[in-house]
Amino acid sequence: MLVVVSGPGGVGKGTLVERLLQLDPRLWLSRSWTTRPRRPGEPDDAYVFVDREHFLREVARDGFLEWAEFLGNLYGTPVPSPPPGCDTLLEIEVQGARQVHERDPTALLIFVVPPSPEEQRRRLEGRGDPEHLIAQRLAKAAEEAAAAGELGAAVVVNDDLDRAVEEMVSLLAAARAERGH
Ligand code: 5GP
């Protein structure tokens, strides 16, 4: 099964995904490619960091399950190869979630939203993005929420980390039961 976690920047998707992975050994995290430069302090393996030309060569040879341009950079999920018995977890933006949904309508889509725009801004500032990028990302959030609604994604409010993780665990269990996993 494909499990897609989506949501605006600064919503805490990364932390939720880390917690889910710790709790569920049957989840396998896909590592994305990006043309975005590495942020200060960001681990080397957060993404496969490549230039645009390299990325587009991979597109041309159909190497991606989905890919999208987000705020001027390209991001893509390599065609997944999870260990047997594992579900693949993707942390991607909404255009990518739509592509996954089109390719595999049985994918579980989860859209994480912040408790408030103020909290989201605080989180983006804490991560060291420049102000113009923070403003762009906040503007993008509303657009993304509308798109997620159209896709019928399950919405999880990240008001409290433990509660939000618990909700995601339940969604996952229900989706597996439904699909007979
Ligand atoms: P960031 O630059 O903050 O790491 O990521 C920007 C956005 O791109 C986030 O919403 C993140 O979830 C999304 N993203 C990361 N990897 C992928 C990917 O492989 N495909 C798509 N479509 N979006 C991605």
Q: Residue count of the chain, please give it.
A: 181
Residue carrying structure tokens 């920047």: 9
Atom 22 of ligand 1: nearest residue by CA position: 96
Phi-psi region of 165 (alpha: psi -120 to 50; beta: other; left: phi over 0): alpha
pLDDT at 4 over 90: yes
CA dihedral of residues 49, 54, 55, 58 (deg, nearest 10)? -120
Give domain limits for the chain: 2-29+84-179
Query: What is the C-alpha separation between 94 and 164, in angstroms, rounded?
Result: 19
- Nearest-CA residue for ligand 1 atom 24 is 92
The CATH T-level fold of domain 2-29+84-179 is: Rossmann fold (3.40.50)
Residue 95 has pLDDT above 80, yes or no: yes
Q: Which residues line ligand 1 (CB under 6 A)?
A: 9, 32, 36, 66, 68, 70, 75-77, 91-93, 95-96
Structure confidence at residue 162 as a pLDDT band (50, 70, 90): very high
The residue written with tokens 């991607």 in the block is: 92
Report the nearest atom of ligand 1 relative to the CA of 47.
16
Containing 91, the helix (H) or strand (E) segment is strand 87-91
pLDDT over 90 (residue 180): no
Whether the predicted pLDDT of 181 surpasses 80: no
Residue of 67, 90, 92 to test ligand 1 pocket, by largest number of atoms within 8 Å of CB: 92
Tell me the pLDDT of the chain averaged across its residues: 93
What are 99-130's pLDDT values in tens digits? 999 999 999 999 999 988 888 888 888 888 88
Residue type, 68: A
Nearest CA owner, ligand 1 atom 1: 9
Per-residue model confidence as pLDDT tens digits over 34-55: 999 999 999 999 999 999 999 9
Alpha carbon of 169 to ligand 1 centroid (Å) = 22
d(CA 33, CA 44): 12
Q: What percent of the chain has pLDDT over 70?
A: 100
Say whether 48 sits in a helix, a strand or coil. Answer: strand
